[in-house]
Structure 1
Amino acid sequence: MTSTFPSPSPSSPGRRSLSRRGVLRGSALLGATAAASGLLGSPLAGAATRPSASPGGRHLPPADRAKAAQVRAEFLHGWNGYKKAAWGHDEVKPVSGTSSEFFVPGRPVALSVIEALDTLYVMELDDELKLSCDYLEKHLDLDIDGDFHVFEAIIRVVGGLLSGYLVTRRPKLLELTREAADRLLPAFTKSPTGIPYTQVNMRTGAVSGNTPPLAEVGTNILEFGVLSQLTGDQKYYQAAKKAYRETMRRISPLGLLGTSLNVETGKWADGTDTAPNPPVDSFYEYLWGGWELFGDRDLLNWYRETTRAILRRQSVTVDGHLWFRQADMNTGKTTGTRASELASFYGGLLAMGGDQPQGEAYYRSWSAVMQRYPVLPEEIDYTDFSATQKGNQLRPEYVNSAFNLFQLNGRQEWRDTAWTYFQGMKNLRVDGGYTIASDVTVSPMALGDLTPAYWFAENMKYLYLIFAAAPRYDYRTGYLSTEGKLLRGVR
């Protein structure tokens, strides 16, 4: 079955009209692209202006300029550390003042630069944005004889270049976005099921890795969908939608999904439902996001179906805190009680999707954990808050959730907890920027030596948007990807 963008329906429940500036600057670019492609009046052209279902931005408080300025200054501390020690490389090691590459050793793609583009825009660091775009247009070479992790490349490289284009209108960035996507597409098109392989050689198109977890199956429809809108070529959206459809065909009678699938046989390789924890987390996030951005009712229905099952069969309350247990997808039997910091995004997602009391409760569960540790450990056992993985990888998910909740209702609680997160993160501050920790349970905290590229895309952007009342972001219609990329709401 061929996937197309559904036509807008003015009678869709919960919808409201979209302001002109909600999709870039009055959707002028999308309209021009559709006209040039002969798509005006088609479902694809209509999908570009679907309104948001989230009631965000209606009661937001004024800016807290002092705190926003502190966040911006700390972002610049990390950014300048990267520029000094690792410019053009993928990631900086701020303690040793060295660098590392993320995808292929010896072949940098300036990943931290790509990740930072729309953050630089939102923070009005225009000289830095121009410097970064100029560098990428001159030096970025994706013709690499090496395997790229498809999931990471889509949310980081495709998403970063895409949002960079959306905030700058520089045509070369869209060309690079499309090139990156085309080099990654064999992971989908060479799969017998349409469920993507995990690795693809960016030069040859050779694929490998036949057992992706769910997050790697579904976390592509936002980036690919917006690219289809901009180019008029639906092949990207079709590939992403097929991967979702094939997975949902394999849902259990309980409404639960396993952890990983074999792309060649279509059979479950692991039948444990770990939602909302990794490695399945953003599979569910992009179901909702696909409805928000494209009005695709299949994605909405799949989101509702899986969310009902997760809330019914996996939610537990321990000492007054809401958590989600791991369960066998076919029997519902408990298989684990771990909670990953990566899952803390789910509070914001539940609230955006209409389950606000549960979303707020889950967020507060993580706030309780944050009272136990200076910064959140990677993983806990939710029955006693003990750290089962003691490191911290500068994760942004907790503050991502705070931002989503803040965008919904502007409550001071979300600002307060975000500020606590920001203050705690200063435990990871070093002369060259911010670094990961190997153990957050000891004092002094045991530090590592890496600033993950996503720190430039996510942590500081969420914090800045919470405090700044940023004039370049439309809080009423804005939508960010799982990697914090601005895909809608650029002013």
Structure 2
Amino acid sequence: MALLKRYGIYTFITGFFLYFLYSLSFPYQDPNAPHRDGEPQRPNRPPPPPQKIYEWSKVPIHYPIKSMTPLPTNAPLPLPRIQFNFTKEEANAKQIRESRRDEVRKAFLKCWRNYRKKAWMHDELQPIAGGSKDPFGGWAASLIDAMDTLWIMGFKEEFTSAIPDIEKVNFGSSTLERVNVFETNIRHLGGLLAAYELSQEKRLLAKAKEVGEMLYHAFDTPNHMPITRWDFHRAGAGEKLVADESALLAEVGSLTMEFTRLSQLTNDPKWYDAVSRVTKMLDQQQSLTKLPGMWPIVVNARKPDFAKDTGFSLGAMADSTYEYFAKSYALLGGQVPVYKKLYDDSMRTALKHTIYRPMTPDNSDVLMAGFVRVDEGQANLNPEMQHLVCYAGGMFALGGKIFQDAEHVKIGRKLTDGCVWAYKSSQSGIMPEVSHLLPCSAVNSTNCEWDEKVWLEEVAKRANVGGKEEDPLRNIANLRLPKGFTAIDDRRYILRPEAIESVFIMYRITGEQQWQAAAWDMFTAIQRASETDLGNAALSDVSAEKPPKDDSMESFWMAETLKYFYLIFSEPNLISLDDYVFNTEAHPFKIPKPKST
């Protein structure tokens, strides 16, 4: 027994000594210390498995196309003039405009340099902690998304120096199991195409084709409808996949511009053919939905059935499908008339059912787009106000110019005015993500006088406050609601571009300086609230005087929001609306022009 105890002690001492020597070769890691992405490290985390790499151009197609839809071959039609005929500006106005433009440029450069320093080759910079995030496949989303902004703002050296690193981005491997095809399309493919369009740097077009080869496999389904949340590794391994039974309209219908432009630039019709099949399905089922003219937010791409569901909106999860109709018409040189039909019929229905005039304290003649639920044939309006739906003002105004419909330009103005009003009404000067207003009886109602009693009753009803022993006004005050708002459902601001997008379009179409003034108020409010030492951060509550910050800076901040702010204070011929159409990520594509006679 004594012998066993002795050998046991010796074994323990020897083992402890060896463990001590072994531990010296590794630095201590606190398991609760923040990781690069801000999450606690996992103790004894095993090494990640080796990434599988797929060469998408060589992955076989299971359902090849037997008859390809060709690109239009006729000469493009001349489009009506879109931009205002700007004349020479006064020296004082020019000085103010250029100083504001330079402030925007400075804000962008700060974000870009810190992204390059602290999050290079990752998708996003964390603007507070200085870490990084990879929510979009780990394919350097902020880098690729901001390339055309670099070019437009004149940072040509930064642009050129980034190209070799873009060439290193490997679209054959991913940090994600499922890839969001829509987001990859608008950010990566759209960003690369626009950067090529502006610079004519062929390495960028070659990289865009790599993305296109990958995304094309998302259409490799029995009915050729796209898989919107695409299983990257199963597809790469050669498995057969089917389209989603439940998909979002925007994610199915918003691939048109990028795929069309890739086909135009490569003279390969396969990408245009792929999106043409979705367009054909939208056309066939447009009159069959429960709100004929529009399609529900949720569709069945596997069946396919784009008509069954009952929720309709120009806003989130549907938005860019509608946005792309007029733009695709222009991008195709007016040679594909179905896009005009899709635009005309959908906007007619939207105006009838989703657009409403809200009651405001100053009796402003503004409009907003809400959400509609169809129940037993009755269309019921939910008068919400999304920041995202602020793009609709620019969409109507641009569509009105392209298709020569002056009434749509007026609608676009009122919708944009509605979003400018929402910014001005907010405590911080910034519009919240989602809120509710009180609609008047009709869109064109001339009798829309402010009624404080009616407003208070609606606020109390939505907030479920009041009662015999309570003071509704005291409870309403605690809700921090600007007058006119009946509820704020989501108080965040995530650095969105949609409001400034429409303000920019209205300025370029009308030439009115009021839009520049509104843009400057928006920019200064956003900078004041969101600026950090490293960039700009999303806000969690814009109803507060000093909104708290979230450690997030999505790639669209540099790709879209700051680009539109810069362009509204630039010379109007810089990326003219007569020469370019923007995809939904603010990437400009050239409009084909008829040859001069």
Fold in common (TM above 0.5): yes
Q: Deviations over 1:150-203 (max 9, x none)?
A: 000100111111111112222221111111111111222315252543324173
Tell me the TM-score normalized by structure 2. Answer: 0.71
CA contact (8 A) 1:254 1:332 kept: no
1:321 is aligned to 2:366: yes
For 2:392 and 2:552, locate their aligned partners in 1 and report how far apart those are by CA, in whole Å: 26
SS where residue 334 of structure 1 aligns?
strand
1:290 maps to which residue?
328
Match of 2:502 in 1: 401
| Pairing partner for 1:116 from 146, 150, 170 | 146
Instruction: State the structure with bigger RCO (CA 8 A, min sep 6), 1 or 2.
Output: 1
CA contact (8 A) 2:283 2:338 kept: no
Decide which of 147, 150, 173 is 1:144's aligned counterpart. Answer: 173
Equivalents in 2 of 1:167, 1:205: separation in Å? 36
Give me the whole-angstrom Cα distance separating, in 2, the residues matched to 1:2 and 1:231.
15
Note if 1:127 corresponds to 2:157: yes
Whether contact under 8 Å (1:56, 1:477) holds in the other structure is no
**Offset of residue 57 of structure 1:** 4.5
Structure 2 Cα separation of the partners of residues 359 and 397 of structure 1? 13
Identity of aligned residues (%): 26
Contact 1:313 1:332 in 2 (8 A): no
The equivalences for 1:286-365 within 5 A come to: 286-294=324-332, 295=334, 296-319=336-359, 320-328=365-373, 331-354=377-400, 355-365=408-418
CA distance in 2, matches of 1:155, 1:418: 25
* 2:111 aligned with 1:93: no
Structure 2: gaps spanning 5 or more residues: 1-66, 360-364, 401-407, 439-483, 593-597
154 and 459 in structure 1: CA distance in 2 versus 1, 3 angstrom threshold = same
Equivalent residue, structure 2, for 1:39: none
- SS of the aligned residue for 1:148 comes to strand
**Bigger mean CA offset, 91-100 vs 181-190:** 181-190
Aligned partner of residue 416 in structure 1, secondary structure? helix
List per-residue Cα deviations over 1:99-141 (Å, max 9, x = no partner): 010224xxx211111011110111110111012112112x211
- The match for 1:447 is 549
Separation in 2 of the partners of 1:165 and 1:454? 19
Give the match for residue 82 of structure 2: 55
SS in 2 for 1:284: helix
Q: 1:205 to 1:130 in 2, by over 3 A?
A: farther
CA shift for structure 1 position 443: 3.2
1 CA distance for matches of 2:209 and 2:575? 25
- 1:438 to partner: Cα distance: 1.3
Distance in 1 of aligned mates of 2:217 and 2:505: 34
Offset at residue 460 of structure 1 (A): 1.0
- The residue aligned with 2:362 is none
Task: Show the counterpart of 1:245.
Answer: 280
CA contact (8 A) 1:346 1:362 kept: yes
C-alpha contact 2:257 2:583 (8 A) present in aligned 1: yes
Aligned partners of 1:217 and 1:313: how far apart in 2?
Answer: 23
2:492 to 391, 410, 414: 391
- Residue 463 (1) aligns with residue 463 (2): no
Q: What pairs up with 1:425-444 in 2 under 5 angstroms?
A: 425-426=526-527, 427-444=529-546
Q: Does the Cα contact within 8 Å between 2:432 and 2:490 map onto a contact in 1?
A: yes
How much does 1:367 deviate? 1.2
Q: How far is the alpha carbon of 1:68 from its aligned partner?
A: 0.8
CA contact (8 A) 1:151 1:220 kept: yes
User: 1:422 aligned to 2:468?
Assistant: no
Deviations 1:324-361 (A, max 9, x none): 33223582421522221110010011011110111100
Whether contact under 8 Å (1:340, 1:378) holds in the other structure is: yes
| Offset, 1:488 | 1.7
1:376 aligns with 2:431: yes
Distance (Å, rounded) in 1 between the aligned partners of 2:154 and 2:589: 18
Aligned match for 1:277, one of 277, 300, 315: 315
In the alignment, the residues of structure 1 paired with residue 357 and residue 580 of structure 2 have an alpha-carbon distance, to the nearest angstrom, of 33
> What is the CA–CA distance in structure 1 between the aligned matches of 2:226 and 2:145, rounded to whole Å?
26
Q: Which amino acid aligns with 1:324?
A: A
Shift in Å, 1:413: 1.6
Inter-partner Cα distance in structure 2 for 1:266 and 1:55: 37
CA distance in 1, matches of 2:88, 2:535: 30
Structure 1 CA distance for aligned equivalents of residues 219 and 378 of structure 2: 31
The 1:335–1:311 alpha-carbon spacing in structure 2 relative to 1, beyond 3 Å, is: closer
Query: Which of the numbers 265, 270, 273 marks the counterpart of 1:230?
Result: 265
> How far apart, CA to CA, are the structure 2 residues paired with 1:317 and 1:328?
18
Give the match's secondary structure for 1:73: helix
Q: Aligned partners of 2:294, 2:521: CA distance in 1, in Å?
A: 35
1:38 match: none
Q: Structure 1: which 5+ runs fail to align? A: 7-41
**Alignment-mate amino acid for residue 275 of structure 2:** A
Q: Which moved more, 1:300-309 or 1:334-343?
A: 334-343
Contact 2:508/2:572 (<8 A) preserved? no
Distance 1:399 1:309 in 2: 25
Larger Rg: 1 or 2?
A: 2
Q: Would you say the 8 A contact 2:297–2:311 is kept in 1?
A: yes
Relative to the length of structure 1, the TM-score reads 0.86
Contact 2:357 2:368 in 1 (8 A): yes
1:4 aligns with: 70
**Shift in alpha-carbon separation, 1:256–1:61, aligned structure 2, 3 A:** farther
Q: Evaluate the alpha carbon distance shift between residue 351 and residue 429 of structure 1 in structure 2; reply closer, same or farther with a 3 A threshold.
A: same
Secondary structure class of the residue paired with 2:432: coil
Q: Distance in 2 between matches of 1:348 and 1:446?
A: 30
Distance 2:212 2:311 in 1: 30
Q: What's the offset of the Cα at 1:67?
A: 0.8
> What is the root-mean-square deviation of aligned Cα atoms in Å?
2.2
CA distance in 1, matches of 2:81, 2:298: 31
Which 4+ residue blocks in structure 1 deviate beyond 6 angstroms? none
CA deviations on 1:220-275 (whole Å, 9 max, x unpaired) are 11111111111111111111121122123222263232111111122358623432
**1:333 is paired with a residue of what secondary structure?**
strand
Is contact 1:287-1:299 (8 Å) kept? yes
Q: 1:242 to 1:53 in 2, by over 3 A?
A: farther
